[in-house]
Structure formats: C-alpha cells, structure tokens
Structure 1
Amino acid sequence: MEESNRIVEKTVHTGQQQQQQQMSSSLPATTPVVNPSNPNLQKKQQHIEDSPIANSLPTDHITDVDEYKPPTAEEIRRLTWKRDLRIIPLVFLFFLFSFLDRVNIGNAKLAGLMDDIKITEDQYNGALSIFFAGYIAFEIPANMMLNKLGPRVWMAILLVVWGTILASMASITTGTQLIVARFFLGVAEAGLLPAIYYYLSVWYTRKEQAQKVSLFLTSLSLSGAVGGLLAYGIVRMDGIHGMGGWQWIFIIEAIPTLVLSIVCFIALPDYPEKTGSTFLTEHERKVLLDMLRADAGPAPENDPEFSWKQFFSVFKDWVVYMYCITVIGVIVCIYSIGMFLPSIVRGMGFTSLNAQAMTVPPYILASITILINGHSAARCGERGLHVVASVLLSVVGYIMLIALQGDSLAGRYVATMLITTGAFSCYGSMGSWFTSNFAGRTKRSIAIATINCAGNLGGVIAGQLYRDNDAPYYIHGHGAALGFACATILFSLILKLLLRRINKKRDGLTGEERATIIAEEKADNLLEKHPDFRYIL
C-alpha cells in the first residue's frame, strides 16, 4: 500500500515536461486533445492534471475527458488491499505446500523410510536429485502452458497432479519406485514457482514486487517449520493401520495440496484485464491497468498473445545468464538446508524425533528476516545489496559450522540459524530482482522459467553434498555450500555494477541518440533495451 503511494508521488514529481516528451513519442496521432476554445473542457483538463496520480497514468485510453474520474488516494489504498487480500494468501499457501511436499523426504528419512523399503544411501541421494531432473526439463514448457491456459486453470492443474503423486508415494516399496515417483513429482511442481513469480509481476508494479515476493516467499522458510512440526506429530502415528510414520507423512501432507487445487480454481483471479466485477470494479480495474502501464514505461504490458520473438530474445540476453549463475548458488544453499537440516541437527546429538522439532526455530527466524529484507528492498528500491547482505549471514554460518566441532553445541545450532536465515532471505530479494528486469509478458514469463530452471541445477548439486559418511559434522557439505554462497555474492555485485552502468549510459543519451535507437526498431520490440527503460539495481 505504501509502495503504491510512493509510485504515485514519485511520478508526480517527475514533472509534466517529461510526460509530454514521452507521450509525444509514443501516443498515436488520434490521442484526444482538449479544444482550447472550450472553457468547460479546459477546466476538466486542469482537474486531471492536478490529480495526485494524474501524471503517473497514461491517458491514451481516454476518449471522453468528461467521463474521466482520477482515482483518489483512498481508492489506491483500497485497490492495494483488494489485491493483497485476494492474491497473496493464495500464492503463499500454494508455495508453502509445494516446498513442503518436495523436501518432506528429509523428514521421511528420519521416520524410517530407508529401513522400511531397504534402500542404500546412493539410492536415497539419487531420489533427491532426480526430482530436479523432472523439474528442470518441464519448467520452460510449463510457463508456455501458463501463457496458453492462464494462471487460475494452470496452477489448479499443477496442485492436483503433484498432490496425487505425493499421496501415492506412501505405497512405494522399492528404491526404483521412489526414484520414479520423485521424478514425476518434479515434473508436476516445475511450473508453480515461475508461474507465481510471473503472476505477481502482472498484478503489481516493479517497485511493489519486492515486498509482495517477500510475503509469499516467507512460505519457503515456514514450510520447513511446518514440516518439522507436522513430522514431529505424524511420526507418532507409526504403526496405525499397519503403515509407517513416513507413509503417513506423505499422505497427510498431500491432503492440503489437493484441497488447495479446488480453492485455486474457484478463487484465484486471472490477469488484471480479464478480471470481472466480482473482484475489482471496472473503475478499479482501469486504475490498476494504468498503474501497470505507467510503471512499465515503454515496455508492452498488455500483449496477451504468445510472442515467439520475445521467446527467442530470452536466450540472446546476457542478463538472463548472469541471473542464472547467481541463482544457482542460492538454490544450492536453500535445498541443502531443506533436505538435510534434520540430519545436520541430529548430528549435534539430538534424537531423530527431537531433531524434527529443533529444525523449527531456524525457519521461524528466516521467515521474519525475509519480511524485513523485502520491506527494506521495497523502500530503498534496491535489490543487489540486499542479496549480498543476506548471503553474508550464510557465509558466517557455514564458517562457524566448519570451525566449531566437538562440544560446541550452542555455537553450531546458532550457525544453522544463520545459514537458514541468510539463504532464505536472500532468495526473497533475488526473486523480486529478476522479475522486475524483463519487459514484455512472454519474455518475462520465459526468462523467469529459464532462470529458475538453471537455478534448480543447484538442487541437483545440493542432493549430493551431504553424505552419511561425512556425519556428524558434514565438513565437506558445509565447505561446498560456503563456496556457492561466496559465488552468489561475487556475481550479484558484478551484475549490479553492469546494470548500473547501462542505466547511467541511458541517462546520458541526448534526444537525438534516443530517437535514433527507437527508429532502428519498432519501440515495442525493444523491450528492456528501450532507452527509457531502467533496470532495478
């Protein structure tokens, strides 16, 4: 809500001169002009110009100035609350159970999975990594389906499919069955996270996204807390109806996912331009579209058709590859924590049952830090340094885990809190960073999927880092994760500096240079290469 008002205020202070220059180069010749000889229209035009958000909204859609009613600050606040209350809780729950369902295998391991189906450590680690093979293979096709079916239908399909697969995992009896089930679970879950990122980017302005992404990504860390608490209770069901505690983990944690598939299909709104009166009034819908167009600047944001030109432009953009490299390091840390934190805590001397419960506090602290980091990033309009500052916490934590051994229980447990807090809060800022820096709906959708696809190579790596023969201190695993955390810091700083250089170069363009760039290609095809586009740093 505060961010929406800041967008409004910032645009007002840019002045009318800049707006007139932009409109003169972008509006069609048929844009209505007030007749200077008509005093009534002159008065109405002045009212529009004096409106608190007038200069932040494009006016090319206005055909009758007498019918235009500029939104008030109260209407903007109400619009923000409507979006937040309808969208954020839903995507929060979707991703909470998505991450819970993919990493609960770590809790199942402590509940007797390996002993009951008689699998080796290599088979277990293979099952961890094979998830990401399916995930990576299907991520880009999944976002192509998102463009075809729309968010509501597509996300509902994903929820029901992976919920069914998870419940069926309670019936596995061999290592091969576990590996196959994990592969198809990865296929089913592949489309959700990039779909949510893309979905938020079409409902919120770029400046708003930092806070909104951090809100829904608290589910990432809370899923670990919820998973630990659920596992702590569920394993006590061991033996009921002849099933082991690990089987009940898969069954009970699949139920909310299946219920959410129905909720998604009924309650999740599609795109802003398609939303009916049951969610937003027509006036609110128009105000929202105006805000999104103003925020996008020269980028086309209402291109409903899939664009192959934008699709292929993703793979020619060096920024995409820089984000891919940066995200891999974060994902290694997140998934190594998600899949092995119960084992790491057990290595400190806790029983398997108590280790489930002791994983909860690090995730709770991480959730709080995600919110603080996201709020700060939104207020500052900055992302890169927030990523770096977060990862530094993980770096300190991994160094402590490597250095502290023996009887240093308190120090090692504090270190687990640092690595968890740093990795998860970093990903909140990282997610809102790359979703904000690609223009055009098709390009942004495919870029997000590509970055997540590459990032999930980190999940494959993470599944192989922590081995039982390295217990209880897991020095090799912590050392590898430390290296990836440092790589994330390095590439984040490099990317931030390169994007800042581009922004400064565009700031220094003369009017003639700007016109030449636009004249070389249709403005809509330039996307974030447009001279008026500025990267979020």
Structure 2
Amino acid sequence: MPPKSHAIEADVDPSTLVQKEPKRKWVSYIWDTFDKSPEERRLMFKLDSAILTFASLGYFIKYLDQININNAFVSGMKEDLGMYGNELNYMQTCWTIGYVIGEIPSNLLLTRIKPRYWIPAMELLWTVLTMSLSRCNSPTQFYVLRFFVGLAESTFYPGMQYIIGSWYRKDELAKRSCIFHTSSGIASMFSGYLMDAVYNLGGRGGFKGWQWLFIIDGVISLPVAISGFFILPDVPEISSPWYLSQEEVKLAQKRMKLEGRKDRAPFTKSKLKKIFTSWHIYLLTILYICFNNGAAGSQPIFQQYLKNSTDPVYSVSQINSIPTTTPAVQVVTTLAYAWISDSVLNGSRWPPIIFGACINIISYISLAVWDIPTGWKWTCYIISGAGYGLSGLLMAWAHEICSEDNEERSLVIGSMNEMAYVFQAWLPLVVWQQVDAPEYRKGFIAVTVLSVLLIVTTFVIRFLHQKERLEKRNQTHEVEETEDGSSDSGGVTPLDAKAIKA
C-alpha cells in the first residue's frame, strides 16, 4: 500500500521517518485529514472539534462585542448621547489602547501558564463588561468601559493563534487560521442583523434598542466563555484534555517535532538577542500593520454613507443590514485564500496576500475619487471585504517562519497584533475622523498607501525566507555528506531536514 500523505503513526519516532514527500491523494485538497492515517485522522477530528469550535465561537463573540459600538452608534446612540463630534473615534481609541496594553504580556504569559484557564477567564470578564455598557448614559462612561473591554479582549486573538500554531502542521495551518478568522466576518454580518432585530425591543425594560444590543451580546457570550474551561487544550507538551488519550497526546507531540516546532523554554538573554536581531519580528510586524490598517474594517464607512444619503433615504434596518454584504465577501474570500494557499499553491502564502492588497488599492482609490457612479461606489464598498480576510494567512506564515523557537513564535505573533493596534489607536483620529463622514478621503488614501506597502513587504519577506531556507538546506546537505558523522552538525538532524523540505 502506498504511503499516505503527511500520515504519522502514533508509535513511529519522527526522527526515523523517511525524507521523501509522499504523493498526495486528491481528497486531501478538499480537507487535509482525508489523506492521513486513521490514528491521525481521529486526533485531528478531536482537535478541530475542540480548538476550532471554541476559537471560532470565541472570536465571533469577541468581534461582535468589538464592533457593536458602530451599529449602536447609527441606531440611536449618537442622537441619545449627543455624539456629534468625534466621540465614536475616542471610544474606538480607548478600546484599542486597552487592547494594545494587554496583547504582548498576555501572549508571553501563555508560554508560562495554562491557556485553558487564562483565555476563558478573560472572555468571561469582557462578557460582563460588555453587558455593563448598556447602563452607560454618557460618552465618558463608554470611554472607561471600552478601555477595559479592549484589555480583556487582547488575550483572545493572538492567544488562540499561538495555540493553533502549537497543534497544527504547515499543510493544516492556513485552513484552520482562516476558518478561525472568518468568525470576524460572520460577526460583522450578525451584528448588523442583531441590531436590526433588537432595535424593536426599544422601550422594554427601560432600555433603548441600542442598549439591548449590548445586553444580548453578553447573553450570547456567557456560555461560550464558560465552555472554554472544559474544551480548550493547552499546548501539546503540557496538555492532558479529557477528550484525548495519552497515545493521542504523544502523537500530537510527535507531529510538532516533525514540523520543527520547539517546546517551551526559558527566556534567556541570548534568546532575546536572537529574536531582536532577526528580521522576523520586524518585517512580520510591519506586514501585519499594513494589513490591519490597510482597510476600513473597524470604521462604519458603508453605514455612514447610507445614513447620510438623502436620495434615497435608508431606514435603520437597511443601514444595518445592507453593509453586511462586505463581511460576506470577507468570509468567502478568506476561505478561498486558505484552500488555495494550502492545496493549490502547496503552502505558498504570498499570492493571496498580493491579490487582497490589489483589491484594496482598486476599491479605495475609487472611493478617494468619490465622484464615481453610484453602482461602482457600492461595488467598491462591498468588494473591499476581500482585503479583510488575510489575517489567517499572515499568522500561518509567521508560525512557519518562526517554527524553530516557541518563544519567538509567541512574541512575534503578539508583536504583530500589538503594533497593528498601536497604529489603530491613533490613525483613525487622523484619517477616519467622524466629522469627515461619509467622504473619508484621507482614510481612503491612507489605506491605498498601506496596501502598496503590504505588497512590497510581502515580496521582501518572501525573498528573505527563501534565502533562509536555502541556507538551512545547504547546511543539512553538508551534514549528510559527512561520512564518519564526526563533524559538527550545528544541531541539524534528519528531523530538521524533513521540516525544511516541507
């Protein structure tokens, strides 16, 4: 029987596995577990059921709680609280400051404590804080609570990306990371529909319609947060979840050794020096800054356009529901990027990134011109969602580039998200000012420039990563050509060679 692609038997030592890459079956292009051994397929099913379910539901809740402020704003909160200046920008900035402060410390904590306690506890905290927003009756109260909501939510996305990168191999990463990320698009859509539904609850219980949005968000969040204590695993080296046998945990550990992923280790001066003298942390962070700020995903630009329309005039229901077409495009393109990258492109991440950036450039240059046909303007608002769905690919790429150092991987993932939101803390105050709505010319131009930088940075990283891999491959060949085995191998083993060729 021919070997199965990427299959690993539980009792096989990864260091003894052959170097030759087996031929993939066509079913693996649909879903990668179809081409694995029964033992590995069973393990993957359990991991997907636990990690992907909690990650997707948790990120759905997190993003729902993050952006509900926009839907509340265009559904009566603006008028009720007299928010006719840049108060919405300040609320978003307070959330971002909290998010920025918490990200890197949280991700570093995950290399020392058990994620299955830390992440659900923080989700439970932001659930309570989100429900508390319903009692706010002034912008200042919103500023304070939004800061702490951001602080609690800072643990989730980089933390779950770290966990996903600790359990999945290269041919599995992009699909899982992107499925995880599609939750943000679904949450954006759902928030619009939810606001449309709960708006009619206005007056009941003494709450207005937009206040009910925060209450319902909290009600949805609570069971998801509690479930995390029971189903979220830790990293493979310290994990013993109730749904995995000891043999399955050992298999998961061997999978990561085969992939070249290192176990947790202390932060030493030499390790920190190695991390901060490498291009990894700097260029990957710049890449994510350009992506995260190279779109208007956190700004209600489509909603503001519809709200300011006078011919025709759109209802509150239409203002909340029509813009959900943009995150719908995000969901579709995110999944397309994942399958194309993992299957068609054999793990290459850069082509979909370039495609998404080009869609951004086309859309936002057109919107910056502004005096364009209404049909094309709607098209630009909608197709710009194709630029929102790159996060999973960027994170998967970072996991692969930093796979040989667990602490570097954690720090880089945290830095990418951290610095992206550092920019998001002040950039909207400059280029997405609420008083400029709906013609955000400065914002549209800024997104275009950042999308160009995203393309340039992608090509630079691709070049440096290929150069790095070639150097490691040459080192491996030198070791293999040593007949007596007495030369210094530099720590390169057959296991490392497998990871390089993958």
TM-score range, shorter chain: 0.7 to 0.9
Of 136, 144, 151 in structure 2, the residue corresponding to residue 187 of structure 1 is 151
Unaligned runs of 5+ in 1: 10-18, 24-47, 54-70, 525-529
Whether 1:175 aligns to 2:139 is yes
Q: Does 1:343 align with 2:304?
A: yes
Among candidates 303, 311, 323, match of residue 284 of structure 2 = 323
1:277-426 equivalences in 2 (<5 Å) = 278-296=242-260, 301-303=262-264, 309-311=270-272, 313-334=274-295, 336-347=297-308, 350-379=314-343, 380-405=346-371, 408-421=373-386, 423-426=387-390
Is structure 2 residue 458 aligned with structure 1 residue 492? yes
Equivalent position to 2:207, from 228, 240, 243: 243
Amino acid at match of 1:176: T
Are 1:443 and 2:408 counterparts?
Answer: yes
- Counterparts of 2:218 and 2:381, CA distance in 1: 28
**Structure 2 residue aligned with 1:259, among 206, 223, 235?**
223
Q: Is 1:459 matched up with 2:424?
A: yes
Is contact 1:391–1:426 with CA below 8 Å preserved after alignment?
Answer: no
Three-state SS of the structure 2 residue aligned to 1:149 is coil
* Pick aligned residue for 1:112 from 60, 76, 84: 76
Kept after mapping to 1: 8 A contact 2:77/2:210: yes
Following superposition, the deviation at residue 404 of structure 1 comes to 4.9
Is the CA contact (8 Å cut-off) linking 2:86 and 2:434 kept in structure 1?
A: no
SS of residue paired to 2:439: coil
- In the other structure, the counterpart of 2:235 is 271
In structure 2, C-alpha distance between the alignment counterparts of 1:50 and 1:460, rounded to whole Å: 47
Distance 2:419 2:501 in 1: 22
State the distance in 1 between where 2:377 and 2:363 align: 8
Verify: 1:200 aligned to 2:167, yes or no. Answer: no
Match among 392, 396, 403 for residue 428 of structure 1: 392
Unaligned runs of 5+ in 2: 23-34
Matched, 1:507 2:473: yes
Structure 1 residue 74: deviation in Å? 2.1
Q: Is contact 2:299–2:432 with CA below 8 Å preserved after alignment?
A: no
Contact 2:295–2:360 (CA under 8 A) maintained in structure 1: no
**Shift of residue 138 of structure 1?**
1.5
Which 10-residue stretch deviates more, 347-356 or 326-335?
A: 347-356
**CA 1:347–1:399 in 2, change beyond 3 Å: closer, same or farther?**
farther
User: Hey, what's the Cα distance between the residues in 2 that align with 1:292 and 1:328?
Assistant: 29
- 2:5–2:36: 8 Å Cα contact kept in structure 1? no
Seen in structure 2, the aligned counterparts of structure 1 residues 341 and 432 have a Cα distance that, compared at 3 Å, is farther
Aligned CA distance change for structure 1 residues 217 and 141 (closer, same or farther; 3 Å): same
Shift of 1:104: 1.1
Pairing 1:219-238 to 2, within 5 Å after superposition: 219-238=183-202
Secondary structure of the structure 1 residue equivalent to 2:432: coil
Alignment partners' CA distance in 2, 1:201 and 1:50: 23
Contact kept? 1:327, 1:430, Cα under 8 Å: yes
Output the CA distance in 2 between the equivalents of 1:361 and 1:402. 21
Amino acid at match of 2:470: K
Taking the aligned partners of 2:206 and 2:462, their CA distance within structure 1 comes to 56
Relative contact order: is structure 1 or structure 2 higher (C-alpha 8 Å, sep ≥ 6)?
Answer: 2
Greater mean deviation of Cα atoms: 495-504 or 223-232: 495-504
Q: Kindly indicate whether the alpha-carbon contact (under 8 Å) linking 2:104 and 2:414 is maintained by their aligned counterparts in 1.
A: yes
What are the Cα deviations for residues 342-397 of structure 1, in whole angstroms up to 9, with x where unaligned? 22443455333311000112212210111111011112211122211122112111
**Normalising by structure 2, what TM-score?**
0.85
1:534 Cα deviation after fit = 4.3
The structural deviation recorded for 1:215 is: 0.9
Relative to structure 1, the CA distance from residue 73 to residue 236 in structure 2 (aligned partners, 3 Å threshold; closer, same or farther) is: same
**Number of residue-to-residue matches in the alignment:** 471
Deviations 1:110-129 (CA, angstroms, capped at 9, x unpaired): 12223222344223211211
**Are 2:103 and 2:414, in contact at CA under 8 Å, matched by a contact in 1?**
yes
1:237-268 Cα offsets, whole Å, 9 max, x none, are: 22222222221111111222222111101222
From the superposition, tell whether residues 286 and 125 of structure 1 become closer, same or farther in structure 2 (CA, over 3 Å). Answer: same
**Distance change in 2, residues 1:337/1:417 (3 Å):** farther
Which is greater in Rg? 1
Q: How far apart are the structure 2 equivalents of 1:6 and 1:394?
A: 36
Counterpart contact for 2:91–2:142, Cα < 8 Å = yes
Q: Is the 8 A contact 1:311 1:442 kept in 2?
A: no
Q: Does the Cα contact within 8 Å between 1:329 and 1:458 map onto a contact in 2? A: no
Q: Deviations over 1:271-315 (max 9, x none)?
A: 32444473122322222221211111xx5x233666665455433
Q: Contact between 1:125 and 1:463, CA under 8 Å: does it hold in 2?
A: yes
One-letter code aligned to 1:390: G
Question: Per the alignment, do residues 512 and 486 of structure 1 end up closer, same or farther by CA in structure 2, a change over 3 Å counting?
Answer: same
Return the TM-score normalized by structure 1: 0.80
Q: What CA deviation, in whole Å up to 9, does each residue of 1:166-216 have, x standing for no partner?
A: 111111222222111111111111111110110001111133111110111
Residues 106 and 340 (structure 1), Cα distance of their counterparts in 2 relative to 1, 3 Å cut = farther
Shift in CA distance, 535/418, structure 1 to aligned 2, threshold 3 Å: farther
Q: CA distance change for structure 1 residues 333 and 474 in 2, over 3 Å: closer, same or farther? A: same
Q: Tell me how far 1:334 sits from its aligned partner.
A: 4.5
Would the aligned equivalents of 2:258 and 2:498 in 1 still touch at CA under 8 Å? no
RMSD after superposition: 3.2
Question: Does the 8 Å contact 2:199/2:209 carry over to 1?
Answer: yes
Distance 1:124 1:468 in 2: 7
Cα 1:277–1:223 change in 2 (3 A) is closer
Cα 1:520–1:316, aligned 2, differ >3 Å: closer, same or farther? farther
CA displacement, residues 446-478 of structure 1 (integer Å, 9 cap, x when unaligned): 221111101112422453333344333322221
